[in-house]
Structure 1
Amino acid sequence: MMFEGDGGAWLGIDLGTQSVRALLVTVDGTVLGSGTAPLTGRRDGVRHEQDPGEWWAAVCTASRAAMSQRSSRVRPGGLAVCGTSGTVLLTDAQGRPLTPGLMYDDGRAVAEAARVGMQTSWALPKALWLLDAYGPGRVTHQPDVITAQLTGGVVVPTDSSHALKTGYDAEREAWPPQLADWREVLPAVVRPGTRLGEVCPAAAEATGIPAGTPVVAGMTDGCAAQIASGALRSGAWNSVLGTTLVLKGASAKPVRDDAGVVYNHRAPDGSWLPGGASSVGAGALPTVADPAELAELDGRAAEYEPSGALTYPLASPGERFPFLAPDATAFTLGTPVSEADSWAAVLQGVAFTERLCLDYLHYLGAPIDGPLTFTGGAARSAYWNQLRVDVLGRPARVPEQIEPALGMAVLAAYGTGAGGRALSEVADGMVRIRTLLEPRSSHTARFTEPYARLVDELENRGWLPTPLATHTRTRLNQDTIDS
């Protein structure tokens, strides 16, 4: 293979909710090519489906765009694909889709979720719903459709990251006995980074990716974003703030949580990537399309630290992390005095929840003393980033690229043996940090009292367990003494 410069280039493909993104990235993090293609879905109440054929068409479009920008001397060393966690469909014995893809937030599998003791957002309840609604078929995760097309294989193994929400036991690395009745329809599973095959001539013609390019098993989009953040050494965490808030970290061992709020993905090297997903986030903000107006609101919100109102800004009903409360609803205590004050209340409410998530992780015994990275769409707000580190009282960093597709390029480099290095070492070279943020102690002190009030309110409503509330207050008092 001929590579440009001293190292190679790898392709990451991200199957998002609204689009497919492809990035061709060098060993030092230089983006040589990028491409996007839109995706559409069908939403009707709790129903949310996508056409698997559209996934492949969008991958072809995005990949051809990314590959067309590279020098003719650059041949990708490998590729990996991520998808939305919990999205599932049925395929036949030849790997052809039999059903639509039920997206991660499709809510029809309520009875099936109760039957297996999982949330409706997980893949297994939706797979059982599909089997009941459509009849026999093989349970298939979103990226498997693409890797099968790329390799020309009839059926390819799935990765353990996507299989996790289908009930896969990541510790034993096997399907559990409870799923014995469905073993015939469940896929074979491999660790992320495992080589699945090579791009076949037909796929090369369709995508512009050279035939023979290695295809390695990917991970979920959340794990891909974590890899793109570089938060891969024990104690490091990536806080992904978009419509909702997701925290994902790295640990040498699983983080045990009897409440099931925190779950653990298995990293390619056998270590662990614990995490949890909240229902608070930027989705609770009013829709503002104009970037200039967003910047203006951020600037005016800085005048209200703290806000005159205390908000728990759920983007949708029910909370999943840092506590489990299906009946939780958004609330505001007090009345904002202006639009800017209302905006500030939401920004601060998300930051308070982020702090509570870290307090919960500390309560569970998770290592949280490593670097914290901010990614997600909200990381584009310089003011919100600074507010968050002020509320948290700890530094954070913001990478140059915050896309899951970058994480898949890193995983592809690791999976094809880039220099025999660990995944964290590969990421160190390919992930570029754009901004380093430090908390301002005087600002941190401003938010101690409203944070404590929020903890009290969540406990009084019966949502936040008292042991966690007590632990949080102990940590807050210790921080106050130390300061």
Structure 2
Amino acid sequence: MRAAFIGVDLGTSGCRGVCIDEEGKELARANHPLPASTHPRPGWSEQNPGDWWQAVLAVLGELARAVPGHDIRGLALDGTSGTLLLCDQRNHPLTPGIMYDDRRATEEARQLACLAPRQTAILGPGASLPKLLWLKKQGAIPRHALALHQSEWISGRLCGQVGTGDENNCLKLGWDPQEQAWPSWMERLDLPAGLLPRVLPVGRVMGRIAEEISVRTGLPGHCQVFTGTTDSTAAALAAGLEQPGDALTSLGSTLVCKILVEQPLQSTEYGIYSHRIFGRWLAGGASNSGGAVLRQHFSDREITELSRRINPERRSCLEYYPLPAPGERFPFNDPRKQPRLWPVPRNRTRFLQGMLEGIARIEKLAYRRLEELGAGYPVRVMTSGGGAANRTWERIRQNMLGIPVRAATHGEPAHGAALIALRGYSREP
């Protein structure tokens, strides 16, 4: 039987899975919806970890049934960066999943800003460590509790491991990937002993699938579970980034630019940090511009129809800086930066062209900022997200960037997680 590998992506609204063969070719995919996040108080954002668990089992079972002629030898997961929960020594959840967009730990984030080195990824309430400090302040950390991220908890439960994390997720919990250790300054936080996970690099074996999970899903008992990553890093792997200078632009609600580099880059001022992935580093940041501002002025149907009328070889001469609201973080850090969307032409096609060009201009500035910080200018840019399907925009961006731009090899982060399992299995003796 031919070998196969599974990747599972835990998103905000659903769980998606992909099964690939030894050459990375997709064999099957599966999806299972998740209930929307709840907001018990202003700024809070939570999900039920039990919903994640049931969705993952459903996806794994569907994929196992979809490839009867293949031997599934490994799987890996990715999850939303900064989503945290506490569990006990049996992997039972003790808290809801505190989501990546939860803002309850604003005061703890301010305290960390005075304590932690500036070049860290834990500054801001969306990071994991401020959330953990908030739980500590509430007296909500029982004895022998473990702090884990979304995909880490699921991975451990699949193979009966407790308290194992991965480098990429733990970056926002304070882990120093260069020193391969929890930094000494964290001792001043007085966290309970044993609370933080044992951290492994991405793609390391955690263990074989638990017998009860094998029976429930149909996965073979020898299937190995590998340490996973965050959703954005999985997306970069799926996109086909291979060599330093390869870059990924995600055209979703926000504009995210990442580039593969040999040495890590950090800039708290611009929200830039680096994930280590198979011996290299993925560095980048996120602008507030992107699809959200387009949808304030156009429907998806309008964008598709009007884009066909645009000549991408002829500039509109509209110098827009499209933002959905005041404030920008990357490539400029200016909380008061105002959107620039004037003058507004009567011609809707020209208005859309000006906005597409404006976002492309921000993308170029973002890669120039990364170049200034030592990344070098991209050799080529892959594109994922909803905007990746717009060929007119792709041509506008290529003209603006002056380098090849194409759609990502695979758009699903789950495909990137499957590649982690494939690479992890290949490096095993």
With normalisation by structure 2, the TM-score equals: 0.90
Partner of residue 112, structure 1: 108
Note the 1:212-223 alignment, pairs <5 A: 212-223=222-233
SS, match of residue 332 in structure 1:
coil
Q: 1:386 aligns with which of 375, 381, 395?
A: 395
After TM superposition, the structure 1 stretch with the greater mean CA deviation from structure 2, 251-260 or 221-230, is 251-260
Check whether the contact 2:275–2:283 (CA below 8 A) recurs between aligned residues. yes
Check whether the contact 2:259–2:378 (CA below 8 A) recurs between aligned residues. no
Check whether the contact 1:46–1:106 (CA below 8 A) recurs between aligned residues. yes
Cα 1:126–1:314 shift into 2, 3 Å: farther
Partner of residue 266, structure 1: 276
Partner of residue 91, structure 1: 87
Partner of residue 252, structure 1: 262
SS, match of residue 45 in structure 2:
strand
With normalisation by structure 1, the TM-score equals: 0.80
Write the deviation string for residues 311-332 of structure 1: whole angstroms up to 9, x where unpaired: 3222455322212223334332
Partner of residue 126, structure 1: 131
2:171 maps to a residue whose letter is L
SS, match of residue 216 in structure 1:
strand
Partner of residue 275, structure 1: 284
Q: Does 1:202 align with 2:199?
A: no
Check whether the contact 1:158–1:187 (CA below 8 A) recurs between aligned residues. yes
Partner of residue 167, structure 2: 160
Partner of residue 139, structure 1: 147
Partner of residue 17, structure 1: 12
Note the 1:60-459 alignment, pairs <5 A: 60-70=57-67, 72-117=68-113, 118-133=123-138, 135-136=140-141, 137-153=145-161, 155-180=162-187, 181-182=190-191, 184=193, 185-257=195-267, 259=269, 261-269=271-279, 271-286=280-295, 292-302=301-311, 305-307=314-316, 309-315=318-324, 317-417=326-426
Check whether the contact 1:288–1:294 (CA below 8 A) recurs between aligned residues. no
1:400: how far off? 4.2
SS, match of residue 331 in structure 2:
coil
Write the deviation string for residues 116-165 of structure 1: whole angstroms up to 9, x where unpaired: 12122211112222333351142210112211221123x14110100001
Check whether the contact 2:16–2:31 (CA below 8 A) recurs between aligned residues. yes
1:287: how far off? 6.5
1:21: how far off? 0.4
Cα 1:111–1:419 shift into 2, 3 Å: closer
1:210: how far off? 2.2
Partner of residue 117, structure 2: none
- Structure richer in helix, relative to its length: 1
1:303: how far off? 8.0
Write the deviation string for residues 277-300 of structure 1: whole angstroms up to 9, x where unpaired: 222111111269986543212123
1:240: how far off? 1.3
Write the deviation string for residues 240-287 of structure 1: whole angstroms up to 9, x where unpaired: 111111122211112253635321111233x22211122211111126
In structure 1, list runs of 5 or more residues that go unmatched.
421-483
Cα 1:327–1:49 shift into 2, 3 Å: farther
Cα 1:309–1:61 shift into 2, 3 Å: same
Cα 1:127–1:311 shift into 2, 3 Å: farther
1:305: how far off? 4.8
1:123 maps to a residue whose letter is S
Cα separation, 2, equivalents of 1:336 and 1:101: 46
After TM superposition, the structure 1 stretch with the greater mean CA deviation from structure 2, 335-344 or 88-97, is 335-344
Write the deviation string for residues 383-408 of structure 1: whole angstroms up to 9, x where unpaired: 11111111112112223421100101
After TM superposition, the structure 1 stretch with the greater mean CA deviation from structure 2, 243-252 or 299-308, is 299-308
2:276 maps to a residue whose letter is R
1:144 maps to a residue whose letter is E
Check whether the contact 1:249–1:275 (CA below 8 A) recurs between aligned residues. yes
1:355: how far off? 0.4
Please give the root-mean-square deviation of Cα atoms over the aligned residues, in Å: 2.3
1:142 maps to a residue whose letter is Q
Cα 1:382–1:13 shift into 2, 3 Å: same
Partner of residue 56, structure 2: 59
SS, match of residue 110 in structure 2:
helix
Cα separation, 1, equivalents of 2:21 and 2:425: 14
Cα separation, 1, equivalents of 2:288 and 2:130: 20
Cα 1:329–1:173 shift into 2, 3 Å: farther
Check whether the contact 2:156–2:206 (CA below 8 A) recurs between aligned residues. no
Cα separation, 1, equivalents of 2:220 and 2:264: 39
Check whether the contact 1:99–1:134 (CA below 8 A) recurs between aligned residues. no
Cα separation, 2, equivalents of 1:386 and 1:253: 31
SS, match of residue 94 in structure 2:
coil
1:175 maps to a residue whose letter is W
Check whether the contact 1:240–1:374 (CA below 8 A) recurs between aligned residues. yes
Cα 1:414–1:29 shift into 2, 3 Å: closer
Cα 1:59–1:112 shift into 2, 3 Å: same
Check whether the contact 2:253–2:291 (CA below 8 A) recurs between aligned residues. yes
Q: Does 1:34 align with 2:44?
A: no
Q: Does 1:49 align with 2:56?
A: no
SS, match of residue 232 in structure 1:
coil
Q: Number of paired residues?
A: 412
1:94: how far off? 2.3
In structure 2, list runs of 5 or more residues that go unmatched.
114-122
Calculate percent identity across the aligned residue pairs: 34
Write the deviation string for residues 441-467 of structure 1: whole angstroms up to 9, x where unpaired: xxxxxxxxxxxxxxxxxxxxxxxxxxx
Cα separation, 2, equivalents of 1:32 and 1:371: 28
1:112: how far off? 0.9
Q: Which is bigger in relative contact order (C-alpha 8 A, separation at least 6)?
A: 2
Cα 1:62–1:330 shift into 2, 3 Å: farther
SS, match of residue 288 in structure 2:
coil
1:179 maps to a residue whose letter is M
Cα separation, 1, equivalents of 2:413 and 2:325: 24
Cα 1:302–1:183 shift into 2, 3 Å: farther
